[in-house]
Amino acid sequence: MAENDRTLRTTDGESSADVKHLPVELLGWGRNRLRDLPWRQVRDRWSILVAEVMLQQTQVARVEEYWWRFLDRFPTPAACAEASAGEVIAEWVGLGYNRRPLNLHRTATAVVDRHGGVVPAVLADLLALPGIGPYTARAVLAFADEADVGVVDTNVARVLARWVGRRLTGSEVQYLADASVPLGEGWAWNQVVLDLGATICRARTPECWQCPLNAHCAWRQQGDDPAVGSAGVSRRQKPFQGSDRQGRGLLIAALASGPVTAPELANTMGWPNDQLRVERVVTSLVAEGLVISDGFCYTLPGGLEV
């Protein structure tokens, strides 16, 4: 596979060290190897937006079940905005990171208020929505509108850092991703690079002998991994068992079925002998708007019909 001879310049126009773009031949290698994922069969911006928010730090297999169910309940931004935040959070229970459904509810409300209920197709408008960052905004454009923009998640950022053989800045990694997209191939190209990172150029067990970039990859498992500490590459998460995240999730799951009183909090969250921890975590949930309290009774925001 031949190298592309273009070199990288950062988004502010400053010249970087010679950094080769990903070769366009990668598209031919990966087009027929794409994973069969349900959100790849649609081009609706709301459906894509929901999928991409769900996929953040969550395994694909878990998202498939929830995606269908969530869209059945909230098929449009208007349907989501009309529901209470608590109803949206309850539909999310089990996926974790419950700030995501709260932000998605806020996003749906903003789409209705600012864009007539239609998810916008302009990058700046997408980035202005609550909780929508560069990855999700570009994913909506690439996968719903097939725009020629580079989508950078942790898998893509890892591929790019290993390809060039050094850590990249945020400006560099996004520019390299954008500039590597072949003209008119935004949808397929991004899916191929995402799958390459997810299935072959993995974080801990890369299968370099199967990688189509192997011949010209600057790393190839020689020396320290340049993806570690590179922009856009997430770090290994702390164990879930016994974490604050686990206690938060247990409480949210309980609240999806009805109110929880203050005396019930400790047992509900799995910390019957750690009242200080209970108070600290519950206080953070209230501050984030995920939980509502009158000082004695705790509920999801907006109440919940059960």
Residues 94 and 53 reside in one and the same domain: yes
Name residue 299's beta-bridge partners: 292
Residues 53 and 130 reside in one and the same domain: yes
Q: Each residue of 225-252: pLDDT tens digit?
A: 999 999 888 776 667 777 898 999 999 9
Q: Calculate ∠ Cα 23-19-150, nearest 5°.
A: 55
Domain harbouring 24, CATH code: 1.10.1670.10
Domain harbouring 86, CATH code: 1.10.340.30
Alpha-carbon distance of 280 to 12, in angstroms, equals 42
Residues 49 and 30 reside in one and the same domain: no
What are the angstrom distances between the C-alpha of 136 and each of 1, 54, 129, 151, 229?
30, 10, 11, 8, 21
Last residue of a domain, one of 216, 233, 255: 216
pLDDT of 8: 45
Residues 76 and 110 reside in one and the same domain: yes
| 221 lies in some domain | no
Residues 26 and 160 reside in one and the same domain: yes
Residues 195 and 275 reside in one and the same domain: no
Domain count, the chain: 3
| 127 lies in some domain | yes
Residue 52 catalytic? yes
| 200 lies in some domain | yes
Rounded average pLDDT over 255-279 = 94
Tell me which residue has tokens 């598209």. 27
Closest CA to 164 of 76, 68, 233: 233
Rounded average pLDDT over 217-223 = 92
Last residue of a domain, one of 144, 165, 187: 144
Catalytic residue among 14, 25, 52, 207: 52
Residues 248 and 286 reside in one and the same domain: yes
Structural domain for 294, as ranges: 244-299
Q: Each residue of 41-79: pLDDT tens digit?
A: 999 999 999 999 999 878 898 899 899 999 999 999 999
pTM equals 0.86
Q: Each residue of 149-183: pLDDT tens digit?
A: 999 999 999 999 999 999 999 999 999 999 999 99
**Helix, strand, or coil (residue 203):** coil
Supply the DSSP symbol for 200: T
Hey, what amino acid is at 304? L
Supply the DSSP symbol for 122: S
- Cβ-in-10-Å burial (0-12, 13-18, 19+) of 269 comes to buried
Hey, what amino acid is at 64? E
| 230 lies in some domain | no
Residues 187 and 136 reside in one and the same domain: no
